[in-house]
Amino acid sequence: MALDNKTDFKYIGTRPERPDGLDKVTGKARYGADAYAPGMLHGAVVRSPHAHARIVRIDASKALALDGVKAVVTRADFAQDLEGEDWNLLENTIAGEKVLYDGHAVAGVAATSALIAKDAAKLVDVEYEVLPHVTDVDAAMAEGAPVLRDGAADHSVPDGLHPNVVRYTEFGRGDVEAGFAAADLVIERSFKTEAVHQGYIEPHACLAQLGTDGKGELWCCTQGHWFVRRMCAALLGLEATQLRVTASEIGGGFGGKTTVFIDPIALALSRKSGKPVKLVMSRSEVLKASGPTASASMDVKMGMTKDGKLTAATGTFRMQGGAFPGAPMDMTTMLAFSCYELDNVHHEGFDVMTNRPKQAAYRAPGAPMGAFAVESVFDELCEGLGLDPIDARLKNAVKEGTRSSFGPKYKAVGLIETLEAAKAHPHYSAPLAENTGRGIASGYWMNWGGETSVSLAIGEDGTVQVGVGTPDIGGSRASMALMAAETIGIPYENVRVNVVDTAALGVNEPTHGSRATYASGLATIEAAREAIGKLCQRAADKWGIDVDAVEWKDGAAHPSGPNAGDFEPLSIAEIAGEMGSTGGPITGHHDASPTGFGGSFGTHIVDVHVDPETGRSTVTRYTVIQDAGKAIHPDYVEGQFQGGAAQGIGWALNEEYIYGEDGRLQNDVFLDYRIPVASDLPMIDTVIVEVPNPGHPYGVRGVGETGITPPLPAIACAVSHATGHRMTRLPMSPPRVLRAIQGKGVS
Amino acid sequence: MAQVSMTVNGKAVSAEAEGRTLLSQFLRETLGLTGTHVGCDTGQCGACTVHVNGRMVKSCNMFAAEADGARITTIEGMAEADGSLGAIQAAFREHHGLQCGFCTPGMVMAAAALLADNPKPSEADIRAHLSGNLCRCTGYHNIVKAIMAASGQDVGAIAAE
């Protein structure tokens, strides 16, 4: 698809109010837990208190005897004989022979009220035979570690590794030893990051209705209702299209709502009870038993000449993603060195199972950990060689035509532009206060296209409705409306965008991979163009001229060429008003799996003050600079930059999953799992760089994920500079920083 | 079961509730006022913030029975009498003080309590006051701006440095 090279945008680049704004400031918007059905039951889930145990017996008789209890489901109520990822998904949804982590679901109950369901869940008697457990990635790979499941490893794993290592990757090019020999300085460091949670404020919630005939309806908060449909159908043994899934308004997801946890249990309870069943997770359940991100243990070695050219780089990345295969070591390895031109580079990745919940995607899954290690080593090289960290990055930065560290050549990308903007930003040269350090880091996310289907229909008054399949998580309905308005030439207010259910469109992948504005936007533009073709045909028929002699501009058909001026232009409203008698409804539709998604680079500058007495770190100034290709709604682009930075600040400084010796999660409430609050953060300055993406008609690049990649290393470098100690372990909580200041190490 | 009576958004309501029913559950399940959101059930996230007799309260941390006889305002009661948006609601919409919008009702209720006590808060006042209301999408940047604007202060004066 060719870029329009359009620069005279009328609507794109403006900042109108969002279409869902009114509902969201008045409490009318309906989220996952806000649906009700006549005769509805409430569900609750029985969860394991053990990190690893064999289920000896489940006795639900006392629960079923409780007044108001209508059904109890266990693994026997789900599809049998599943294999591969479907089996993993079912096993994570509801345990089979063993529970694999603290909080693992064992049974579901449905009752006439939420309080009775909760009481009934406590009455389900489960007998366990407790087994040895392991929750740390390095410990899980060590000889003698408890084995979670034999035979889970795939063919990629070399002989001799622990059975908990389930996938392995190794790739690279050049001669890294020769590269290191040519360097003036070589730095090698080991790093560790803890698992963190996406921390969406809305807990998972759904309302399910499933008949014994296999036909069902599901309302849920999800980033992708077609994914939910496929997964639920597989786990319950249904035909996918017999299940209609409607996405509610969604209260945050950040990747964590791209899979299922409770929806299949609610459907099974509904099938068994014959009633609609509502199921809502508590925050403790969200933290224990949804899909936090992986934790990582990493070794990175890089060499640099004294004039700042990288000569070689190697990285080993060990990631645990819970009790199933799937830690994002593929993305970590692929993207670790993605900012730099490297002739000599080698990567090794390990996917390791532990007694923790099955990890799910979290904003740029896998990328922030690798960036933390690589950008920290890059910073230390600059420090050791006395180089400016932006100048040194500019010497190595990838650009159009560079062969990436993971293979393919880059198309037009904006890393250099973000670095130059960072250097020119007043923040970079502002004086620093005492005990304050400044960190710089860059990061990348390659973005995604994916299966996409969009329908557009012209209303009888000339307004336009657009049906998309990507749930609106941060303002995408406004972005689609702007693109449709721009394409058709009608006011933004004349377009209404709806997120429609799975019965209304072909398969749509979720709002993930920073794809919605890119892919649903591209399909919206193409659907609008198709409708414009039909509008022009109606005008041509009316005028009795060839359609090729009709030009569409500013929301109206105009005779052009030899017919120019022969007829008065026909507006979209005039054509639409007659469409019943001129051939019927006028619509546009576009299906695609577009591959021209352009990746987005970002560079962050951060100042962090460290209290030398307490070790507490405070972010005092933060600037995000990122390539958006073309910002459709700049406020929402800036919002993504700010949100990514804030989540990165939490990951770097505060947030971590803390498992006790007993394998139980010790911080399963927001009091103890502390995400940044308003008083922790400064205003977050943003600079939008626009290097158009040739793969989108208006140059869009996805922007949602890149923003969480640079904060980890940028903040770690700032704390390192403030304290004089290189920080290699996250989170940089006050006790850990204090130990570093006192010379007692960083672990 | 006990009878619980209160005035909610200016209307007298009365319903039966189990003693352990939380005010948040009573508002949502019994009265159908689902604008009061529950994000944590443990009093940290603030999405369920309402006003009880003019004071800001996290409704998941109070039993419905404790609010017997009280005057309650929820997000549904924050619009003007003619149905138009209140100043804080309008500012959140205009300044994009939300992304997913789940924390927004609690943020609006918390902001209203702040401005009632402190009509011209500084940025630091706003941040301190909101420290019991979690937002995961915005980094609070546009929320602070929206509250600044709702208090009639110059949003452009809040610098990032």
| Same structural domain, A438 and A456 | no
Distance in angstroms (rounded) separating the CA atoms of residues A197 and B39: 14
| Same structural domain, A585 and A624 | no
Distance in angstroms (rounded) separating the CA atoms of residues B93 and B145: 11
| Same structural domain, A472 and A585 | yes
**Structurally, what CATH architecture does the domain formed by B2-75 represent?**
Roll (3.10)
A202 touches chain B (CB under 8 A): yes
pTM assigned to the model: 0.97
In a domain, A519, yes or no: yes
Mean residue pLDDT of chain A comes to 97
Residues of chain A found within 8 Å of residue B79, distances taken between Cβ atoms: 26
According to the CATH classification, is domain B87-155 in 1.10.150.120?
Answer: yes
B69 CA: distance to closest CA in chain A (Å): 24
Distance in angstroms (rounded) separating the CA atoms of residues A115 and A654: 34
Q: Tell me: the pLDDT tens digits for A616-652?
A: 999 999 999 999 999 999 999 999 999 999 999 999 9
| Same structural domain, A392 and A511 | no
- pLDDT surpassing 90 at residue A743: no
Q: Tell me: the pLDDT tens digits for A189-222?
A: 999 999 999 999 999 999 999 999 999 999 999 9
Handedness of CA A629, A635, A638, A642 (dihedral sign): negative
Domain with A621 in it: what CATH number?
A: 3.30.365.10
Strand ranges inside A194-285, DSSP E? 205-210, 216-220, 243-247, 277-280
Local structure of residue A470 (DSSP, 8 states) = S
Q: Structural domain of residue A516, as residue ranges?
A: 21-28+449-592
Task: Give the other-Cβ count within 10 Å of A224's Cβ.
Answer: 26
Distance in angstroms (rounded) separating the CA atoms of residues A476 and A499: 10
Task: Give the other-Cβ count within 10 Å of A428's Cβ.
Answer: 17
Distance in angstroms (rounded) separating the CA atoms of residues A414 and A107: 50
Residues near A325 by Cβ (< 8 Å), separated by ≥ 6? A88, A152, A154, A166, A167, A351, A353
Domains identified in chain A, total number = 2
Q: Tell me: the pLDDT tens digits for A383-420?
A: 999 999 999 999 999 999 999 999 999 999 999 999 99
Q: Tell me: the pLDDT tens digits for A89-100?
A: 999 999 999 999
Residues near B26 by Cβ (< 8 Å), separated by ≥ 6? B4, B15, B17, B64, B67
Residues near A514 by Cβ (< 8 Å), separated by ≥ 6? A445, A447, A448, A597, A600, A701, A702, A703, A704, A705, A706
- pLDDT surpassing 70 at residue B28: yes
Residues of chain A found within 8 Å of residue B89, distances taken between Cβ atoms: 25-26
In a domain, A297, yes or no: no
| A355-372 average pLDDT score | 98
| Same structural domain, A458 and A443 | no
Q: Please report the DSSP string for A336-356 in residue order.
A: HTTTB--SSEEEEEEEE--SS
In a domain, A508, yes or no: yes
In a domain, A725, yes or no: yes
CB contact under 8 A, B142 and A642: yes
SS3 A99: strand
* pLDDT for residue A747: 59
Residues of chain A found within 8 Å of residue B85, distances taken between Cβ atoms: 22, 25-26
Q: Tell me: the pLDDT tens digits for A672-704?
A: 999 999 999 999 999 999 999 999 999 999 999
Report the residue from B33, B74, B96 with minimal CB separation from A639.
B96
| Same structural domain, A443 and A464 | no
How would you class A130 by CB atoms within 10 Å of its CB: exposed for 0-12, middle for 13-18, buried for 19 or more?
middle
Nearest to B42 by CA among A356, A255, A285: A285
**Strand pairing of B2-8 and B49-52?**
unpaired
* pLDDT for residue A745: 73
CA distances from residue A152 to A165, A167, A534 in whole angstroms, order as listed: 8, 9, 54
- pLDDT surpassing 90 at residue A145: yes
| B72-87 average pLDDT score | 93
| A440-468 average pLDDT score | 98
CB contact under 8 A, A22 and B132: no
- pLDDT surpassing 80 at residue A523: yes
Report the residue from B41, B102, B133 with minimal CB separation from A252.
B102
In a domain, A637, yes or no: yes
The encoded tokens of residue A46 equal 């029985």
* pLDDT for residue B159: 62
Residues near A286 by Cβ (< 8 Å), separated by ≥ 6? A197, A203, A204
SS3 A69: strand
Residue A625: how many CA atoms within 13 Å on its side-chain side?
A: 25
| Same structural domain, A587 and A607 | no
CB contact under 8 A, A671 and B161: no
Interface of A with B in 619-648 (CB under 8 A): 621-623, 635-636, 639, 642-643, 645-647
* Domain limits, chain B: 2-75, 87-155
B139 CA: distance to closest CA in chain A (Å): 5
CB contact under 8 A, A199 and B136: yes
* pLDDT for residue A643: 98
* pLDDT for residue A4: 59
Nearest CA in chain A to B133: A677
Lowest mean pLDDT among A521-535, A706-720, B69-83: B69-83
- pLDDT surpassing 60 at residue B16: yes
Q: Tell me: the pLDDT tens digits for A248-271?
A: 999 999 999 999 999 999 999 999
Q: Please report the DSSP string for B101-139 in residue order.
A: -SSHHHHHHHHHHHHHH-SS--HHHHHHHGGGS--SSST
Distance in angstroms (rounded) separating the CA atoms of residues A327 and A153: 13
Q: Tell me: the pLDDT tens digits for A100-138?
A: 999 999 999 999 999 999 999 999 999 999 999 999 999
A600 CA: distance to closest CA in chain B (Å): 19
- pLDDT surpassing 50 at residue A477: yes
Residues near A270 by Cβ (< 8 Å), separated by ≥ 6? A41, A110, A208, A209, A210, A216, A276, A277
In a domain, A49, yes or no: no
A46-72: buried (b, 16+ CB within 10 Å) or exposed (e) per residue? bbbbbbbbebeebebeebeeeeebbbb
| Residue A720 host element (H or E) | helix A711-723
Residues of chain A found within 8 Å of residue B101, distances taken between Cβ atoms: 20, 23-25, 29, 249, 251
Residues of chain A found within 8 Å of residue B160, distances taken between Cβ atoms: 621-623, 682-685
Residues of chain B found within 8 Å of residue A24, distances taken between Cβ atoms: 93, 98, 101, 104
Distance in angstroms (rounded) separating the CA atoms of residues A10 and A25: 28
* pLDDT for residue A1: 38
A424 touches chain B (CB under 8 A): no
- pLDDT surpassing 60 at residue B161: no
Q: Tell me: the pLDDT tens digits for A291-338?
A: 999 999 999 999 999 999 999 999 999 999 999 999 999 999 999 999
| Same structural domain, A511 and A629 | no
| Same structural domain, A473 and A564 | yes
- pLDDT surpassing 70 at residue B160: no
Residues of chain B found within 8 Å of residue A21, distances taken between Cβ atoms: 92-93, 98
Q: Tell me: the pLDDT tens digits for A5-41?
A: 567 899 999 999 999 999 999 999 999 999 999 999 9
**Distance in angstroms between the alpha carbons of the first and the last residue of chain A:** 50
- pLDDT surpassing 80 at residue A373: yes
The encoded tokens of residue A340 equal 């730099």
| Residue A684 host element (H or E) | strand A684-689
ipTM value greater than 0.85: yes
Q: Cβ distance A209 to A270 under 8 Å? A: yes
Last residue in a domain, options A542, A573, A592 = A592
| Same structural domain, A391 and A436 | yes
A18 touches chain B (CB under 8 A): yes
| Same structural domain, A720 and A634 | yes
Q: Cβ distance A668 to A101 under 8 Å? A: no
Last residue in a domain, options A567, A592, A617 = A592
The encoded tokens of residue A534 equal 């039909």
Residues of chain B found within 8 Å of residue A639, distances taken between Cβ atoms: 96, 99, 137-138, 141-142
Q: Cβ distance A675 to B134 under 8 Å? A: yes
Q: Tell me: the pLDDT tens digits for A710-738?
A: 999 999 999 999 999 999 999 999 999 99
B83 CA: distance to closest CA in chain A (Å): 10
Residues near A386 by Cβ (< 8 Å), separated by ≥ 6? none
| Same structural domain, A476 and A441 | no
What percent of chain A shows pLDDT beyond 90?
98
In a domain, A674, yes or no: yes
Between A and B, how many residue pairs show a Cβ–Cβ distance under 8 A?
190
Q: Cβ distance A200 to A290 under 8 Å? A: no
How would you class A433 by CB atoms within 10 Å of its CB: exposed for 0-12, middle for 13-18, buried for 19 or more?
exposed
